[in-house]
Structure 1
Amino acid sequence: MTEDTTHPVEDWGAFGRTLFDDPAARALSRVGVVDVGSNSVRMVVFDGAARSPAYFFNEKVMAGLGAGFSDTGRLNPEGRVRALSALRRFARLAEGMGAAPLNVVATAAVREAEDGPAFAAEVEKQTGLRLRIVDGPQEARLSAQGVLLGWPDAEGLICDIGGSSMELAHVGGGEVGHCVTSPLGPLRLATHDDGKKGIKTEITRVMDGLVAEMGTDHKRMYLVGGSWRAIARLDMERRGYPLHVLHEYRMTPKSVFDTVKWIGTHDVPTLRSMTGIGEARMALVPLASQVLKELVRRFKPKEIAISSYGIREGLLYEQMPQTLRDRDPLIESCRFAEKKDARMPGFGRALYEFVQPLFKSERPARQRIVRAACLLHDVSWRAHPDYRHEACFDNATRANLGGLTHQERVFMGLSLLHRYKNSRSGTRLEELLGVLQPEDIKQAEILGRAMRFGAMFSAERPGSLGELRWFPKRKKLELWLNTHAQDLFGEVAQSRFKALSNALGAETEIKRKRDAA
């Protein structure tokens, strides 16, 4: 079934008509990128709705090209061999996936190494891949663009840490501002001649210059890079945080300081056993945590957010036309999922219009999540009926979705759970509800029961057969039915309408609408 086109574009406000079938967007439907970093070489192939793509393929090799660079000024010999092997594999894979030519960038290690140009030439000779060697500010810009892919309204300071460098960029108003680079990568710091004392002095010296150039007291600091994500995972472990999704995970400055101190009381094998983080990555965490502590202390962000999006996503964002960049990544992704997986693509919009009277006084951020939930209400219908409610919850809370806080993930997941099941007690998902306030849990239940009623009331657009009218001050819910829709309001529909009214704590009244002459 094709998308419903009977409604004008403005019905979806700023979201407009879907763009994933537009030729400019289809050109980005399967894009392969490779990031040749100081520590790792990673290939990602994006697929699906270009504004919020899925990861069709994602593979990383911890090559360690930058290991020992401070001593030799050259790429690590073993790292060269491993990186070339990975790139040969990636080139062949891209051809088989229809993702060639790959967009390949090389960062600090290759751009600074004496033999970096020779390595790039060897890569092209052996694989046909052309390395785009980016300078520090360009690397910072790409990372910031990756953050904008997931957070169109991002505002604050982007900080991307690699093995040999750390980049900073201002971001706000959908634009990337001033960008700088620094030598504060943990691989580089590990080779400092003066040991721990020298490392601390170097971090302080470099941070002085960064603060002078970038300013302090930013609204939010967005952390990009594997070492930051590892520290965030350790913060989750220390706090007993129930949702292990790193993207959009938030930390306070105090939490960062507490976790850095906590990391210092454990050895690397113990930390690995707690989290499953790889050996090569975990080896960088102690030094990276020192950098993060000083970064937060000196820049004084009000909040710290983890971004799983960085350079690779920035490469995709760089290729997007502005019309696509302006779209909401969550809504685009949900609309793509509905078109691909729902039984009746286009019904999500009709369902949103039907339940919207219950949420018309809600702030725009909540109405956005209501809209997303309606689009996803039916995409898990193939799951076994006994587990469909759990599949819906998992789909929302653990999916790779941009533009979604952890609280919004759990709110949407809970509403979709109640789309298929009235009760949530006794499920394995209850511990995750701790990230929500009691009033949000109640609202999610109301939304779920509203979707449950609206989705089964009719196979047609429910708004063409009846409408909900909600009077919150009087706690009264009315259902106005068209004459030719009254047979649809049978026993099961009445039961689900009652479940909705119970969730609202409302009295109900069924009224009859006169059909238009």
Structure 2
Amino acid sequence: MSKVTTIIDIGSNSMRMVVLQKSSRFAFNLINETKSRVKISEGCYENNGNLQEIPMQRAYESLKSFLNISNALKSRKIICVATSALRDAPNSNIFISKVRKDLGLNIKVIDGEKEAYYGGVAASNLLHDDTFVTVDIGGGSTEFSFVKNGKIEKSISLNIGTVRIKELYFNKNNTEGAKNYILDNLKKIFELDIEIPKKVVGIGGSIRALSKIVMAKKEYPLDILHGFAYDVKDELSFFDRISRAKDNDDLKSFGVKKDRFDTIKEGSFIFKTILEELKINEVVTSGVGVREGVYLTDLLRNSNHKFPENFNVSVRSLLDRFQIDEKQSAYLGNNAKKIFDALKPLHNLDNKYRGLLVIASKLHSIGSTLNFYKSNDNAFDFILNGLNYDFLHTSRVVVAYTIKFSKKSLPTRSDILEYEELLPSLKIMQWMSFMISLNFAVNQDFSRPKVEYFLNDETLEINLSNKSFLIESNIDKLETPEDLTVKIL
């Protein structure tokens, strides 16, 4: 795969592009994301599915701009896929041929099952969940991919979309007909004879727009959409109110942005109906979808479209981009495990914190790279946004705070108030703070000394192969949690 790759997704309502840069074998990072609401399917469902001239021209002009961006970023490979609007339109070849002839771009029209599969590939690799069903509401269709234990079992596409429902039913004030149409289509899911998970991973602009509104309503502390989760029972009535909004002023009062006025009522109506009919308990929002799925099926074509076991693309990408010393990173990661394991009888933390301590230890030096002074604060702000894939929001915040408090003193209650609802207890964060601080104190001179840890009652005994005044004095200054004593042998 080329180092810089462009993926373009021509949907019924929006056309989106991502430009991704590969940094090592499986790691990559996003360098551009562009969206254009071309509404290529506008008017087609009222005209026997045929694409109309003005929407096609909007899409053509936007593609020219997309290609300008891609060329400026030195992308060597472009993959362009089109979904419901073009696969359904009898006259789609007019648009496809014009783009190929004038712009030199080949558009690959994918079927609904492949579109659903791409969403499943993206979610199963880039979200920290293993059993769920993706729901991707587009303008012309909605895709479902059923994932169990990280593996895609079934993928299906149904002709339920915001633009389709709007033109066929909502414009005629026929919400009852719209509901019956959706329910009739959903019967195909029950015919799959597959266990339906209780968790939905929501993909697509309509679901993301709804999640943003829920986040604002809840005054959620973290302004990150990917991985945001909420309970269905808490929001169904709210989604119903949005779908019944009388005008744009109503929508605005609910927190809907202007660019979503045209299809949010239909999107909310479709999503609510799906959640109720499939008896879903939880929604997890995905910031990735078809575009990332297309990219990953290419990147991971020799590994069944899955990352290797225990591989985290966000961590690897940051290590690559900041050129963090591999030997120092490996040492700090291994030493973090030793410290955690030695103190386990005292802190009794779940092993997930062991992994988070390792990640925090490896990524700590990013703060110094950004700016040596206040490096912990710099790293905190960056990590909250930098760990963009495969992390629960809670895990992301724990890693950021662990790095922030890798210093002599332990955090207090007031230190963690801002993100308290996403953090574990203060006691846990104090243990994480102490363990990472000890990790860096031991390697204060970057000599990567051999070290052994022994817990004797409530005393942590440290056997250092290369003792120095600098290291010993830094260990002595550390504030310890509870009644722990540290002794250098």
Q: Shorter-chain TM-score category?
A: 0.7 to 0.9
Instruction: Note the 1:277-288 alignment, pairs <5 A.
Output: 278-288=257-267
More moved, 72-81 vs 341-350: 341-350
CA distance in 2 between counterparts of 1:152 and 1:112 reads 34
CA distance in 2 between counterparts of 1:162 and 1:257 reads 20
Report if aligned partners of 1:74, 1:113 keep a CA contact under 8 Å in 2.
yes
Report if aligned partners of 2:387, 2:396 keep a CA contact under 8 Å in 1.
no
Q: Counterpart of 2:366 in 1: which secondary structure?
A: coil
Q: Counterpart of 1:184 in 2: which secondary structure?
A: coil
More moved, 344-353 vs 129-138: 344-353
CA distance in 1 between counterparts of 2:422 and 2:416 reads 12
Could you say which residue in structure 1 is the equivalent of 2:354? 367
Q: Given the alignment of the two structures, is residue 408 of structure 1 paired with residue 384 of structure 2, yes or no?
A: no
Cα deviation code 1:257-296 (max 9, x no counterpart) = 1431453586645655776x65333432221111111111
Q: Which amino acid aligns with 2:451?
A: G
Select 1:218's aligned residue among 197, 205, 212.
197
Select 2:471's aligned residue among 478, 489, 494.
489
Select 2:462's aligned residue among 479, 489, 506.
479
Could you say which residue in structure 1 is the equivalent of 2:32? 57
Q: Normalized against structure 2, the TM-score is what? A: 0.88
CA distance in 2 between counterparts of 1:265 and 1:242 reads 29
Q: Given the alignment of the two structures, is residue 31 of structure 1 paired with residue 5 of structure 2, yes or no?
A: yes
Q: Normalized against structure 1, the TM-score is what? A: 0.84
Could you say which residue in structure 2 is the equivalent of 1:347? 328
Could you say which residue in structure 1 is the equivalent of 2:76? 100
- Seen in structure 2, the aligned counterparts of structure 1 residues 274 and 386 have a Cα distance that, compared at 3 Å, is farther
Report if aligned partners of 1:389, 1:421 keep a CA contact under 8 Å in 2.
no
Cα deviation code 1:441-487 (max 9, x no counterpart) = 4333332333233224335666634333346xx332222222x4243
Residue 167 of structure 1: how far off its partner (Å): 0.8
Could you say which residue in structure 2 is the equivalent of 1:514? none
Could you say which residue in structure 2 is the equivalent of 1:337? 318
Report if aligned partners of 2:116, 2:143 keep a CA contact under 8 Å in 1.
yes
Report if aligned partners of 1:446, 1:504 keep a CA contact under 8 Å in 2.
no
Instruction: Note the 1:15-414 alignment, pairs <5 A.
Output: 27-49=1-23, 51-72=26-47, 73-151=49-127, 154-193=130-169, 194-195=172-173, 196-213=175-192, 215=194, 217-261=196-240, 263=242, 268-269=248-249, 272=252, 278-319=257-298, 320-323=300-303, 325-327=306-308, 331-341=312-322, 344-360=325-341, 361=344, 362-384=349-371, 387-414=374-401
- Seen in structure 2, the aligned counterparts of structure 1 residues 102 and 342 have a Cα distance that, compared at 3 Å, is closer
- Seen in structure 2, the aligned counterparts of structure 1 residues 421 and 478 have a Cα distance that, compared at 3 Å, is closer
Q: Counterpart of 1:451 in 2: which secondary structure?
A: helix
Q: Given the alignment of the two structures, is residue 446 of structure 1 paired with residue 421 of structure 2, yes or no?
A: no
Cα deviation code 1:415-460 (max 9, x no counterpart) = 011125746569897322222231xx43333323332332243356
Q: Counterpart of 2:431 in 1: which secondary structure?
A: helix
Q: Given the alignment of the two structures, is residue 435 of structure 1 paired with residue 422 of structure 2, yes or no?
A: yes
- Seen in structure 2, the aligned counterparts of structure 1 residues 39 and 457 have a Cα distance that, compared at 3 Å, is same
RMSD: 2.8
Q: Counterpart of 2:12 in 1: which secondary structure?
A: coil
CA distance in 1 between counterparts of 2:418 and 2:217 reads 16
- Seen in structure 2, the aligned counterparts of structure 1 residues 273 and 378 have a Cα distance that, compared at 3 Å, is farther
Query: Matched residue pairs, number?
Result: 475
Residue 32 of structure 1: how far off its partner (Å): 0.9
Report if aligned partners of 2:137, 2:203 keep a CA contact under 8 Å in 1.
yes
Could you say which residue in structure 1 is the equivalent of 2:454? 469
- Seen in structure 2, the aligned counterparts of structure 1 residues 279 and 51 have a Cα distance that, compared at 3 Å, is farther
Residue 373 of structure 1: how far off its partner (Å): 1.3
Q: Counterpart of 2:20 in 1: which secondary structure?
A: strand
- Seen in structure 2, the aligned counterparts of structure 1 residues 422 and 209 have a Cα distance that, compared at 3 Å, is same
Report if aligned partners of 1:44, 1:55 keep a CA contact under 8 Å in 2.
yes
